[in-house]
Amino acid sequence: MSAIFNTFPTIIPVIMVIIAGALSKKYNLIKEQGIDGMRYFITSIALPAALFKAIGSIKMSSDVITSIGIISSSILLIMLIGFLLVKIFPSLNPMAP
């Protein structure tokens, strides 16, 4: 139960920003063009940068890094095989482009 209470200091600023955004839109403090610009900035620049920083600061053992590499390689190989099979046998999947 204490783990839940320990996350509140991290979550509260996010909730406050969401509430501030909702109120500013409700009372027309920000124009629609401004909202679109902020949405683009957040999804294209700020969020990827924050994720990159967070992932870069994680301390991982070599076993975890090896597992992530094997899983990622396996997923890419399976996707490649599926892509090639659809190109070779297009009648197998009528939904494929």
Per residue, the 3-state secondary structure of the chain, as one string, reads CHHHHHHHHHHHHHHHHHHHHHHHHHCCCCCHHHHHHHHHHHHHHHHHHHHHHHHHCCCCCHHHHHHHHHHHHHHHHHHHHHHHHHHHCHHHCCCCC
Co-location of 65 and 75 in the same domain: yes
**What is the count of structural domains for the chain?**
2
- Residues 20 and 3 reside in one and the same domain: yes
Same domain assignment for residues 33 and 72: no
- Let me know whether 48 and 77 are in one domain: no
List, for residues 10-41, the tens digit of each pLDDT value: 888 888 888 988 888 889 888 888 888 888 99
Residue 13, pLDDT score: 85
60-79 confidence digits (pLDDT tens): 888 988 999 999 999 999 99
The residues, any chain, with a CB within 8 Å of residue 24's CB and separated by 6 or more, are 30
Q: What is the pLDDT of residue 96?
A: 59
Please give the pLDDT value at position 83.
87
**Which pLDDT value is given to residue 33?**
87
**Which residue range forms the structural domain that includes residue 88?**
60-92
19 and 52 in a single domain? The answer is yes
